[in-house]
Amino acid sequence: MQQERVMVITGGAKNIGKGIALEFLNNGWKVGIIDLDEQGLKEFPISEDLLTYWGDVSDECAVKDFYGKVKSRFGRLDVLINNAAIGGFKDFLQLSVAEWSRVIQVNLTGYFLMARFGVPLILENPGTGAIINISSTRALMSEPGNEAYSASKAGILGLTHALANSLGPKIRVNAVCPGWILHEDEIISEKEHSQHLVGRAGTIKDIAQLVFFLADEEKSGFITGQHFVIDGGMTKKMIYL
């Protein structure tokens, strides 16, 4: 009988993170979530296969404690999904060093900490593991006021291919770059949908299914160190004013 598989996800209490967590739960995985959204964690559908933890991914002590609880509850770890992020969009000349640092701490250092202290647990398993980092198309293109966020998301791409080199062949590491993804209950106009080459904005399910594919050794076992843009074609669309 195959050993039950375990994944952990940061920022899994709502929106994309919640959709990813549910995708794995619905496919028979054990899931651990770490998030600072206490209300979102309380409202997450209850499951015996779920562990929730209120904590800050940029806090080394919280990350270590979270993994201790994952090991105690589930006994192993197979897949890490780094998803937690904050925006910090602000006029560049008004952006403080503290605000810049906070975005980098959560969006980039948090990914490092989760990998640094999660990888040893993955390596205890006889099989292979995977890390999937959620970046953004803003790692590749920007709008005004995106400096901290875009820098953090671009840093994730560098961290991804560096980790793929350091952790292979035991652990595959890839990144996903979502474009405009509708959050829970978000509604936009047909004009906004039509900006996309596929005629619609993305859904949480679009991201969850790609992440689940990248976690599957049988389906994506020859893929590592890559980043996947999933944006309905927006980064390939030229716009002239």
The phi and psi torsions of 3 (rounded to 5 degrees) equal -60, 135
The phi and psi torsions of 237 (rounded to 5 degrees) equal -105, 120
Q: How far apart are CA 28 and CA 5, in angstroms?
A: 8
**CATH of 6-236 among 3.40.50.2020, 1.10.1200.10, 1.10.3720.10, 3.40.50.720:** 3.40.50.720
Structure tokens at 136: 């953004």
pTM of the model: 0.96
Report in angstroms the alpha-carbon separations of 6 from 50, 118, 139, 173. Answer: 10, 12, 29, 16
Q: Is 86 helix (H, G, I), strand (E, B) or coil?
A: coil
pLDDT of residue 104: 98
pLDDT of residue 1: 40
Q: Which of 53, 111, 149, 240 is catalytic?
A: 149
Q: Is residue 27 within 8 Å of 5, Cβ to Cβ? A: no
> Among this protein's residues, is 149 annotated catalytic?
yes
Q: How far apart are CA 201 and CA 179, in angstroms?
A: 8
Ordered by start, the domain boundaries in the chain are 6-236
- From first to last of the 241 residues of the chain, give the pLDDT tens digit: 457 899 999 999 999 999 999 999 999 999 999 999 999 999 999 999 999 999 999 999 999 999 999 999 999 999 999 999 999 899 999 999 999 999 999 999 999 999 999 999 999 999 999 999 999 999 999 999 999 999 999 999 999 999 999 999 999 999 999 999 999 889 999 999 999 999 999 999 999 999 999 999 999 999 999 999 999 999 999 888 7
